[in-house]
Amino acid sequence: MSRFVHVAAAQLGPIQRSDSRRDVVARLLAHLHHAHEMGCHLVVFPELALTTFFPRWYMEDPEELNAFYEREMPGPETRILFDTAARLGIGFYLGYAELAVEQGVERRYNTAILVGRDGKIVGKYRKVHLPGHDQHEPWRAFQHLEKRYFEPGDDFGVWQAFGGVMGMALCNDRRWSETYRVMGLQGAEMILLGYNTPVHNPPAPEHDDLSMFHNHLVMQAGAYQNGTWVVGVAKAGKEEGCEMIGGTSIIAPSGEIVAACSTKGDELAIARCDLDLCQSYKSTTFNFDRHRRPEAYGRITSQRGATPPQPVAA
C-alpha cells in the first residue's frame, strides 16, 4: 500500500524587524504558489514565521512586545493565506506568536497551526519546550527570552489529516526524545516542526560549530525511533545581525534525509512522502507494544531534573 503526501518544506530567509506582515505574507504566498506548481498538498513554514525572532530582545513595553503577536488567526493580514490555500487546495503548517484571551486574561504562546486543503484549521499546537531564559541577561550577545514571552503548552497531540496521522512540534522540542515518543505513542506518521536556531548559543559557544550536526541528529533519531516522517523547517540566515542555521530537511521513517535546502534564504525542499513507509518500522523494531518496557521508564515522568548519586570517596 502507499499513501502519498506531497510535502514542501518552505524555508524562509531572515525577516527583519522593519518587514511588515504584508511583506512576509507575500513571501509565504509565493511559497504556496510555487509548491502548488510542484503538485504539493502540504506546505510547512517555520516557527514564528510572520515576524523576526523577537525573543532576541528584552522589551519592557507591553505594546512594543504585543506588536509581534497575532490576536486572531486568520486575522486581517493572514486571511489571504487561508483563502489562497483553499483556492489552490493546498494545506499548511504555520508558526506564529499567539496572544489569546482566556477567561479575561491575556496569555502568550509560541504556536503552530495545521490548516487543511480546504483552508480550515485542523489543529493547534502550543510549544511545550520553551528554551532560553526569563530574565534579562545583558552579558549575552543577544537574548533568548522565550521563557519570558511565552507560557508553555501542555501536550503533544496528533491530528488526522492529509490521509494520515500528523503531529506538530516547534524548534527546541526537537532536541527532546520525549517529543517524538509522545506523538509516536499516538501513531504519528509525520511530525511537522518549524525552528529558529541561532548558530551561536551564548551559554555554550563551544558547541556552535556543531549546530547543524545536532539539528539533523535529533530529527533523524526521532524519525527512526518512532517510524515517522519528520519535516524540519528553518527560518535561516542573518536576521537583525544574528546568524541562524538553515538545514531544512524532510526525513523519512528510516532516519534518512530525502530532501533538503541548501541556501539560507526562501527555498522549497520537496518530497513525495509515502506514509505507509512508517509501517515497516512501527511493526518490527519499533513495535512498541511488543518491545517497550514502560515499567523501567518511571523516572521519565516522575522527576524533572537529574539526581546523580552522591559522590563517594575515590
127 assigned to active site: yes
Name the minimum Å distance from CB 30 to a second copy.
29
* 289 is a site residue for a second copy (CB under 8 A): yes
Whether residue 270 contacts residue 6, with contact meaning beta carbons closer than 8 Å, is answered with: yes
Q: Please report whether residue 314 would count as binding a second copy according to CB under 8 A.
A: yes
Does 262 sit near a second copy (CB under 8 A)?
no
**Residue 261 in grid coordinates:** 535546502
Supply 207's cell numbers: 558547541
Our CB check for a second copy shows the closer of 9 and 223 to be 223
Which element (helix H / strand E) includes 168?
Answer: strand 164-170
Please report how close the Cβ of residue 97 comes to a second copy at its closest, in angstroms: 19
Active-site annotation holds for 171: yes
**Considering only 28-36, 102-110, 123-131, 236-244, which stretch makes contact with a second copy by CB under 8 A?**
123-131
Residue 297 backbone zone (phi > 0: left; psi -120 to 50: alpha; other: beta): alpha
**Does 292 help bind a second copy (rule: CB under 8 A)?**
yes
Q: Are 124 and 96 in contact (CB under 8 A)?
A: no
Given 98, 127, 267, 282, which residue is catalytic?
Answer: 127
Q: How far is the CB of 73 from a second copy (least distance, A)?
A: 23
Active site (annotated) includes residue 47: yes
Considering the rule CB under 8 A, would residue 75 count as an interface residue with a second copy?
no
Catalytic residue among 40, 70, 171, 235: 171
Rounded Cα distance, 68 and 53, in Å? 9
Instruction: With beta carbons less than 8 A apart as the criterion, state whether 189 and 162 touch.
Output: no
Q: Which is nearer to a second copy, 173 or 266 (CB)?
A: 173
Alpha carbons 259 and 94: distance in angstroms, whole number: 20
Residue 289 phi, psi (nearest 5): -65, -35
Task: Please state the length of the chain.
Answer: 314
From candidates 38, 141, 212, 300, binder to a second copy by CB under 8 A: 300
111 binds a second copy (CB under 8 A): no
1 contributes a contact to a second copy by CB under 8 A:
no
Considering the complex, state which of residue 27 and residue 56 has its C-beta at the smaller distance from a second copy: 56
The footprint of a second copy on residues 148-187 (CB under 8 A) is 152-156, 158, 160, 163, 165, 172, 175-178, 180-182, 184-187
Beta pairing class for 164-170 and 158-161: antiparallel
Number of residues that bind a second copy (CB under 8 A): 74
Pairing of strands 229-234, 190-195: parallel
- Residue 124 binds a second copy (CB under 8 A): no
CA distances (Å), origin 27, targets 15, 30, 236: 10, 5, 14
| Least distance between a second copy and beta carbon 214 (Å) | 6
Site string for a second copy, 199-228 (x = CB under 8 A): --x-xx-xx--x--xx--xx-xx--xx---
Measured distance between the N- and C-terminal CA atoms of the chain, rounded to whole angstroms: 59
Pairwise CA distance, residues 196 & 47, whole Å: 6
| Residues carrying an active site annotation | 47, 127, 171
